[in-house]
């Protein structure tokens, strides 16, 4: 596993600096680069966020007879720490139809129990609504994972190590642009284009991705 500190050490050495980096909180250039790397990882996660295969997860859950509303806590349990928002519900491998929560409350909430077919998400509470069922029904609930922000030395990025170069080079590109270091900027731009293309091939869900580096 590669930690936030490991990413910082790679970025620091790539600038041509000598010496050791012991923490992301080291004063001077290390702390500046650490902020750039952390911001780069946030940017990458949020660029094409709906199309990355590492920005969502699935949990098995049983719908209860007669109920229509469920909270994130009861659905996710301990996984609530990574919860961003619900995105879809699957029953027997088929996605349920999503409708606005107001329409759900008017047309679906009081309908007779049936197989899971429609769901809604409350924009204010994040609660999940699914039409009433007459017996316990197992479903799979897909939810978006909260954006990860790197803050501590031992924070581990939630992608495999060999694809983390995109984070380092985007951080260095933004840093070099800010300080006007043209040589480092050219190097970082070249390395990022290669690293980000590989990143997209690995983590794209299969949809058409942007070909330009819109994160820059």
148 contacts 157 by C-beta, under 8 angstroms: yes
User: Which residues make beta-bridge pairs with 138?
Assistant: 62
Query: In the 3-class helix/strand/coil scheme, how is 48-84 assigned residue by residue?
Result: CHHHECCCEEEEEEEECCCCCEECHHHHHHHHHHHEE
Residues sharing a CB contact under 8 Å with residue 139, sequence separation 6 or more, in sequence order: 60, 61, 62, 63, 89, 90, 91, 96, 116, 130
The alpha-carbon radius of gyration of the chain (Å, integer) is: 22
Mean pLDDT of the region 100-113: 95
Best CA proximity match to 8, nearest among 40, 30, 41, 39: 30
Q: Is the dihedral of CA 207, 202, 156, 19 positive or negative?
A: negative
When pLDDT is cut at 50, 70 and 90, the band that residue 206 belongs to is low
Is 210:48 a contact under the CB 8 Å cutoff?
A: yes
Distance CA 10, CA 2 (A): 11
Q: Give me the numbers of helices (H) and strands (E) for the chain, helices first please.
A: 6, 8
User: Is the C-alpha dihedral spanning 166, 168, 170, 172 positive or negative?
Assistant: negative
104: confidence class by pLDDT, cuts 50, 70, 90: very high
- Arithmetic mean of pLDDT over the chain: 90
Point out the least confidently predicted range of 49-53, 57-61, 156-160, 164-168.
Answer: 49-53
- Confidence band, pLDDT 50/70/90 cuts, at residue 215: very low
pLDDT band of residue 205 (cuts 50, 70, 90) is low
More confident residue, 139 or 200: 139
155: exposed, middle or buried (Cβ count in 10 Å: 0-12, 13-18, 19+): middle
CA distance 66 to 134: 6
Q: Which residues contact 3 (CB under 8 A, 6 or more apart)?
A: 153, 154, 155, 156
Which two tokens mark 35?
């902020």
Work out the number of other CB atoms within 10 angstroms of the CB of residue 79. 14
């Amino acid at each position: 596993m590669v930690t936030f500190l490991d990413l910082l050490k790679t970025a620091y050495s790539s600038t041509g600096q000598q010496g050791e980096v012991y923490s992301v909180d080291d004063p001077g250039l290390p702390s500046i680069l650490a902020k750039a790397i952390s911001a780069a990882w946030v940017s990458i996660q949020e660029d094409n966020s709906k199309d990355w295969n590492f920005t969502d997860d699935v949990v098995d859950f049983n719908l209860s007879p007669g109920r229509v509303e469920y909270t994130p806590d009861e659905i996710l349990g301990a996984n609530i720490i990574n919860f961003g928002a619900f995105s879809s519900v699957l029953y027997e491998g088929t996605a349920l139809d999503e409708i606005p929560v107001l329409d759900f409350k008017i047309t679906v909430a009081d309908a007779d129990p049936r197989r899971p077919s429609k769901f809604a998400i409350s924009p204010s509470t994040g609660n999940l609504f699914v039409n009433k069922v007459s017996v316990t029904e197992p479903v799979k609930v897909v939810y978006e994972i909260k954006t990860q922000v790197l803050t501590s030395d031992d924070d581990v990025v939630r992608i495999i190590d060999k694809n983390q170069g995109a984070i380092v080079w985007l951080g260095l590109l933004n840093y070099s642009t800010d300080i006007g270091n043209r040589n480092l900027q050219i190097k970082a731009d070249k390395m990022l284009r290669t690293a980000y293309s590989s990143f997209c091939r690995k983590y794209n869900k299969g949809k058409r991705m942007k070909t330009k580096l819109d994160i820059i």
